Structure 1
Amino acid sequence: MLKGKKILLGVSGGIAVYKAVALTSKLTQAGAEVKVLMTSHAQEFVTPLTFQAISRNPVYTDTFDEKDSKKIAHIDLADWADMVIIAPATANVIGKIAGGIADDMLTTTLLATQAPVYIAPAMNVHMYQHPAVIQNMQSLDAWGYRFIEPGEGYLACGYVGKGRLEEPEKMVELLESETNRCSGWQGKKVLITAGPTREALDPVRYFTNYSSGKMGYALAQAAMEQGADVTLISGPVHLSPPQRVQFVKVNSAADMFDKVKQYYQDMDVIIKSAAVADYTPAIVHNQKLKKQGSSMTIEMERTTDILQFLGEEKTHQYLVGFAAETDNVMDYAKSKLTKKNLDAIVMNDVGNKEIGFASDQNEVVVLTKDGKEQSLPQSSKKDIAKAIIQLIDKELR
């Protein structure tokens, strides 16, 4: 599966650099074209000549060493790669990536690449468990970086624990598996809506709901990781969109409908997980409304049913809706699946506080139009999103 793949291997400074040499050899034997980018500290352990001999390609070490005057080397490398692997990835380089620091050729190239990035940490067990390192890895994970977990065993420092760079053979197997898994989604265009909408009443007030957007953002990342070309249309949330996802920010239900109309026709899969307001104020006041006695009546009017529109207008698209209910959840979901001409619907009980809107957990049942039911037990929204994407993949196949 790696035959013909263009792989950029970033090597940072740690004793596990010797395994990066073996990894270069294994990747080359698997048919990949490998180019190696080394930090100055990595060169303290192994010379660039070693990697050059095995990869049969020039080794890159200096941002300002432009080997071809017609190209900017770090941008050219960033665009060239089908995938990027950082092995070994030290605590230092992980921190730099998480902080957006670009002070050498490796970190500069990482900021520029749009290819999937795999990070293989290698460090002392106590460093690996440090809160700063954990936080940096969590941030990178949320942005769509992928991690090759280190193994447990005897470390160069003499400790025994987690922090040992994964074996080259295992890394090649994982990359082959990832390539195989993602190949079915390559070229597929996926549209995902997420978050709430805000319906303005006056310059300082609006109507909204409790949706956090976490499920939709997790779905966007899961589809992106499968190799899809993802467009994420999001209402106002406090989340950072995944990398390598086309991000479209909206505010109101009308805004979201306009953007969905703009993008939906070219899509292969549409997942509408946004919690769009059903009603919006009939009149939006230009000035702040003043107190008007003991009560106030506000006239509301229906917003456009975006999911209904998509069900009526779809041609080739696989359309997935969400049914977030608090009672009679299954009945409402089945009714919505049929009424809105969906291919599948994801049913969840938002009345359960453990899996509600703001929770990091979810528990859902996926129903398809041909009568299949698949229960996904309580787990993180990230894992639920991956499972939903896998179920869609089976349906598409």
Structure 2
Amino acid sequence: MKKKGRQLKILITAGPTREYLDPVRFISNASSGTIGYLLAEQAAKRRHKIVLLSGPTCLRRPAKVKCVTFESARQLKAEVDRYFNWADCVIAAAAVGDFRPNNISRQKLKKNRNNLTLKLVKNPDILKALGEKNRGKNKALVGFALETNSLYRNARLKLKSKYLDFIVATKLSSKQLPFGDRPINGAIISRSCIDKFRRMSKTRLARIILDRVENLCYIL
């Protein structure tokens, strides 16, 4: 058990990954990195020690936070492995691409053909690997899930299969996109309960997540 109120070492991942097809084109996603940056900012205000692993984003780096950048999923995995033993808690808020091109062209791909077929290979499941590594080590592990359907079912499956302490689940809807600083709908799901939230600001959500992380770390 860690003494209540003591400084925690928190590893946070944020933002999207980029998987390059050629020197200028890549496969990515719409993650802005906002929730990860807010978590780092709010945790620093609580005087915790933070390492923020950030994908490509336009956000300003939070004060008093060590920031390490990455682009690809494999680069992120290397940094997560590097800092895992250091951390009391890992909050995995990055939106990691599931696949990457099998080959990266050294030259810019030309449009002098009617069709282009890409062979994709699976990226490492970083969060699952962390969960398996963490079994018996008493580190708090938090994940995120963005789903288009079966939100609670899919989030529970991810919670269980990746050995998470809790997961923050949000549903993707064309009526209310969850990217950037928009308020979001969703739920915080643990093995024992589901706490739903509606139109919550990401700043408030970050504070609630950190409250839970602190409670977990001080009893582990």
Structure 1 length as normaliser, TM-score? 0.52
Match of 1:366 in 2: 188
State yes or no: 1:350 paired with 2:172. yes
Match of 1:389 in 2: 210
**1:61-140 aligned within 5 A:** none
Query: How far apart are 1:325 and its partner, in Å?
Result: 0.8
Query: CA deviation digits over 1:31-58, x for unaligned, max 9?
Result: xxxxxxxxxxxxxxxxxxxxxxxxxxxx
Match of 2:196 in 1: 375
Given the alignment, which residue of 39, 47, 65 partners 1:219?
39
Match of 2:142 in 1: 320
Q: Where in structure 2 are there 5+ consecutive unaligned residues?
A: none
Deviating above 6 A after TM superposition, structure 1's stretches of 4 or more consecutive aligned residues are none
Aligned AA (1:312):
E
State yes or no: 1:240 paired with 2:90. no
Query: CA deviation digits over 1:369-391, x for unaligned, max 9?
Result: 3x122223322111111111112
- CA distance in 2 between counterparts of 1:310 and 1:392 reads 17
CA RMSD, 1 decimal: 1.6
1:210 and 1:358 in contact (8 A); partners too: no
- Say which SS state the counterpart of residue 212 (structure 1) adopts: coil
- CA distance in 2 between counterparts of 1:235 and 1:382 reads 20
State yes or no: 1:259 paired with 2:79. yes
Aligned AA (1:190):
I
Aligned AA (1:333):
A
- CA distance in 1 between counterparts of 2:205 and 2:148 reads 19
- Say which SS state the counterpart of residue 176 (structure 2) adopts: helix
State yes or no: 1:192 paired with 2:12. yes
Q: Where in structure 1 are there 5+ consecutive unaligned residues?
A: 1-182
Q: Percent identity?
A: 36
Match of 1:338 in 2: 160
Structure 2 length as normaliser, TM-score? 0.92
Aligned AA (1:240):
R
Match of 2:96 in 1: 276
- Say which SS state the counterpart of residue 335 (structure 1) adopts: helix
Query: How far apart are 1:202 and its partner, in Å?
Result: 0.3
1:367 and 1:374 in contact (8 A); partners too: yes
Aligned AA (1:222):
Q
1:311 and 1:341 in contact (8 A); partners too: yes
Query: How far apart are 1:357 and its partner, in Å?
Result: 1.8
- CA distance in 2 between counterparts of 1:377 and 1:391 reads 18
Q: State how many pairs are aligned.
A: 214
Aligned AA (2:139):
Q
**Larger of the two Rg values belongs to structure:** 1
Query: CA deviation digits over 1:90-123, x for unaligned, max 9?
Result: xxxxxxxxxxxxxxxxxxxxxxxxxxxxxxxxxx
Greater relative contact order (Cα < 8 A, sep 6+): 2
Residues 374-383 or 323-332, more deviating? 374-383
1:350 and 1:357 in contact (8 A); partners too: no
- CA distance in 1 between counterparts of 2:113 and 2:76 reads 35
Aligned AA (2:166):
A
- CA distance in 2 between counterparts of 1:282 and 1:375 reads 40
